[in-house]
Amino acid sequence: MKKSNVIWGLLLIALGVVFGLNALNIATINIFFTGWWTMFLIIPAIAGIVENKERKGNIILLIVGIILLLSARGILDISLIGHLIIPILLIIFGILLILKKDDNGYISSEKNSNDEEIMVTFSNQTITIDEEIGNQKASAVFGKLTLDLTNAKFKKDTKLKLEAVFGNVVLILPEGLDIKVKSTPIFGGVDNSYNKNGSKVIYIDADAVFGGVNIK
C-alpha cells in the first residue's frame, strides 16, 4: 500500500466525517479557514515526500506552502520574506543535505573515476574523462563545472546525475548515444541540445536549483 494513498485516504475520511457532522447538525465545522487554499500545496508536497518522489521539489513546495499559510493567517508578514530569502534558502539547502541519500547506482566519493562523484564549489573547472565510466554524479555549487565525456566509453544503461545549485553544469557527450533526460528545475533551467542518434541509452537526471544544466 502506498503511503501517499494512506494520506489521501485519511484526508477524504476526515472530510467525510466533517461534512456528515455538519449535515446532521451535530457540529458546525468550517473547513474553509483562512488560508485553506494553501493545503493544495502542502498536502501534495507531504505525499510526495513520503513517497520519495521529487523530494527536493516537494520539500521546497512544502516550505512555500507553510510560509503562505502563516502569511494568510497573519502570523508571518509577507513583506519580511524579501529580507528572509537568504536564511530561508540556507535552511532549505541544509534540510536537503540532511535528507540527501545516494540513488541506486551512484557512489558518494570525492574522487574522479568510475562510479564516483565530482563536485565543484566556488570555482570554475573543466574535467575530462577519457576512460570507461559507469554511473556518474557531478555537482556544481556556486561554481561552474564542464564535464567533457567526448572520448569516454559508456557502460550499458549508464546513469548520470547532474546537480547545479547556484551554479552551472555543462555536459559534453560524444555522438552516437540515445539519452533519456529527467529534469527538476527549481528557479533554474535544464537545456538539452544533444542530437541523439545512437542505440546505447544513457539516463540523465538533472536538477537545477537557481542554476542551469546544459547538455550538448
Tens digits of residue pLDDT in 75-98: 877 677 667 766 776 776 666 666
Q: Higher-confidence residue: 88 or 23? A: 23
**HSE value, Cβ hemisphere, 13 Å, CA-based, for 83:** 5
Q: How confident is the model at residue 126 (pLDDT cuts 50, 70, 90)?
A: very high
The confidence score (pLDDT) of residue 112 equals 39
- CA 125, CA 143: separation in Å to the nearest integer? 8
37: DSSP letter: G
Which of the pair, 125 or 59, is modelled with greater confidence? 125
Quote the CA–CA distance of 120 and 141 in Å, as a whole number: 6
Percentage of the chain beyond pLDDT 70 is: 79
More confident residue, 187 or 75: 75
- Name the strand (E) or helix (H) holding 177: strand 177-186
Max CA pair span of the chain: 74
| Cβ–Cβ < 8 Å for 130, 152 | yes
- Which of the two residues, 57 and 38, has the higher pLDDT score? 38
161 pairs with which residues across the strands?
A: 137, 205
Residue with cell 535528507: 99
Mean of pLDDT over the chain: 78
Quote the pLDDT of residue 38. 85
Q: Could you tell me the pLDDT band of residue 171, with boundaries at 50, 70 and 90?
A: very high
pLDDT at 114: 45
Higher pLDDT, 81 or 144: 144
Q: Average pLDDT, stretch 5-17?
A: 79
Per-residue model confidence (pLDDT) at position 110? 37
Question: Residues 99-123: pLDDT tens digits?
Answer: 554 443 333 333 334 446 788 887 8
